[in-house]
Amino acid sequence: MKAAIYVQYGSPEVLRVKQVEKPIPNKNEILLRIKATAVNSGDWRLRKADPFAVRFIFGFLKPKINILGSVFSGEIESVGEDVKQFKVGDFVFGHTDMSFGAYAEYKCLPENASMALKPANFSHKEAAVIPFGGVTALHFIKKAAIKPGQKVLVVGASGAVGSAAVQLAKSYGAIVTGVCSTANTDFVKSIGAGKVIDYTKEDFTRNGETYDVIFDAVKAISVSRSLKSLNKNGIMILSAAGMSEMLQGVWISMTSSKKVMTGVISHTAADIIFLKGLIETGKLKPVIDRTYGLEQIAEAHAYVEKGHKRGNVAIEV
């Protein structure tokens, strides 16, 4: 099978499309013929070992996992003898979690993986771009227990996680304000933000507005300076936090009435099924900036790494 592999950390050019051995499913696994995947921040950060600490988990001198790609949509080609939930021919979409491996024509997954039947009215590439931003935003929004009428500020509202956070917060009944660049203000309004702040013209920490939840999806804010924009018992979500922000968050949560949420996300098939329900009722829509073929994976990584994409970048396999 074809797969985009990398055997050393580095620039997008370390990715090479080659022929590798096709996997064989175990008794409790499905063999998925991948039709589409996406390039997300987790992919390019792991590709270049950024931050350096990822080397302690994924391989210090060279990567232990050689095929990236954490989201997928495709067709089940075969199933192990113990598989009960899915059958050959089912179209499914979901998230591979920390096993990656979706930059390939085939991937084996346990039947209890974070996946669900693909929405019938969605293409494979539309379905594939939902899980990364969707599960990340959903994890934190559920953890923060966002309620109807709460004021939520989403920083980085035009990206994969941010655009999902805007839509999910609105679906929970929140009053959403998005922060983005001039080019994306109309787009962020179109996905549900009641108000949009153009960060090139206005600093939200200086306009006197306060929020129940501040969701930074792109590691773009000063944690200490942004605290004054948070209500007394407010919650700050730092979904892309580094070690420094995590330590700041622990201290703030320990010493004040305000809470800071960071950390590794967790998700299950139930989360993918929940997102599917929002998709089918029109409350969550895929946002695709560009589409590339698998052979263009290095070009796609280079584009995403610049940090200016709107929503997601899809890969057709």
How far is 258 from 224, CA to CA, in rounded Å?
A: 12
Residue 160, SS3?
A: helix
What is the Cα–Cα distance from 123 to 42, expressed in whole angstroms?
23
- 259, two tokens: 């809470």
> What are the chain's domains?
2-129+286-316 (3.90.180.10), 132-261 (3.40.50.720)
Give the closest residue to 183 by CA, choosing from 158, 216, 204: 158
Q: Tens digit of pLDDT per residue, the chain (317 long)? A: 999 999 999 999 999 999 999 999 999 999 999 999 999 998 999 999 988 888 999 999 999 999 999 999 999 999 999 999 999 999 999 999 889 999 999 999 999 999 999 999 899 999 999 999 999 999 999 999 999 999 999 999 999 999 999 999 999 999 999 999 999 999 999 999 999 999 999 999 999 999 999 999 998 899 999 999 999 999 999 998 888 888 888 999 999 999 999 988 888 999 999 999 999 999 999 999 999 999 999 999 999 999 889 999 999 99
DSSP-assigned letter for residue 159: B
Q: Is the pTM of this model over 0.85?
A: yes
Answer whether 182's CB lies under 8 Å from 127's CB: no
Residue 119: asked if its preceding bond is cis (omega within 30°), the reply is no
